[in-house]
Amino acid sequence: MIVHSAQLPAQADEDRAVASQHAVIVLDGATAHDPETPRAGTYVDTLSTELQSRIGPANDLRTALADAIRATAELLELAPGKSPSSTVAVVHIQPDTVDLLVLGDSAIIVGTIDGAQHIHTDDRLERLGLPQADNYRHRLATGTGYDDQHRELLRELQRAERQWRNRPRGFWIAEADPAAADHALTASYP
């Protein structure tokens, strides 16, 4: 397995890439633009530690993720709908397979011996077609952003997303409800 990653020091952002002998975990924490929401950096640090400790030869990735979300929510005293969140991408090397799990819009690209590339991502958030997301992207495309109006658009977008988070016909992401793990996309390669 060849792994390429780059990230700033942990205190500088809310994303984490963690590699062990048999797994790689990538978490893309959602930046909190609501002052009532705890910091996502603490959430992804705790979730990555909990998830890494649960990935093993006999563990199903969805079960490991559910248990890690549950433990993280308990440790940080989080409540569904009022917590930081994160996408999750896991590559787990087993003796006979490579297992993948994706929750949220992070991507895993698998290159196979025949030269093919397989992209695994969860596009359920994008498929919602939220107008706030279009407004946000339009401002960035026109060279504006990162001012007070931009931050307000991000708050509006996150409020709109929260209404669809971890529910049927919405999108699924790691937060405080371990049931989200049941909706993770998985794949295996021999």
User: Whole-prediction pTM value?
Assistant: 0.88
Domains within the chain, CATH numbers bracketed: 10-126+165-189 (3.60.40.10), 131-161 (no CATH)
Predicted confidence (pLDDT) per residue in 133-173, tens digit = 988 888 889 988 778 888 888 889 988 998 999 999 999 99
The reported pLDDT for the residue numbered 15 is: 85
Residue 100: its pLDDT value, please? 97
If you average pLDDT over every residue of the chain, what do you get? Answer: 89
pLDDT of residue 178: 98
CA–CA separation, 138 and 119 (whole Å): 26
Structure tokens at 63: 């079960």
Whether the pLDDT of residue 115 is over 90: the answer is yes
Check residue 181 and give its pLDDT.
98
Q: Percentage of the chain surpassing pLDDT 90?
A: 59
Is pLDDT at 4 greater than 70 in this prediction? no
Identify which of 111, 135, 125 has the alpha carbon closest to the alpha carbon of residue 164. Answer: 125
In the prediction, which pLDDT does 150 show?
A: 85
Nearest to 171 by CA among 101, 124, 128: 124
- Find the mean pLDDT for residues 119-124: 95
Question: What is the spatial distance between Cα 141 and Cα 92, in angstroms, rounded to a whole number?
Answer: 36
Report the 10 Å Cβ neighbour count for 144.
Answer: 11
pLDDT tens digits, residue range 9-60?
A: 655 678 889 998 889 999 999 876 666 667 899 999 999 999 999 998 878 9
Task: Give 186: exposed, middle or buried? Use CB within 10 Å, 0-12, 13-18, 19+.
Answer: middle
Express as a percent the part of the chain with pLDDT over 70: 90
Mean pLDDT, residues 51-71: 94
Nearest to 30 by CA among 80, 104, 137, 131: 104
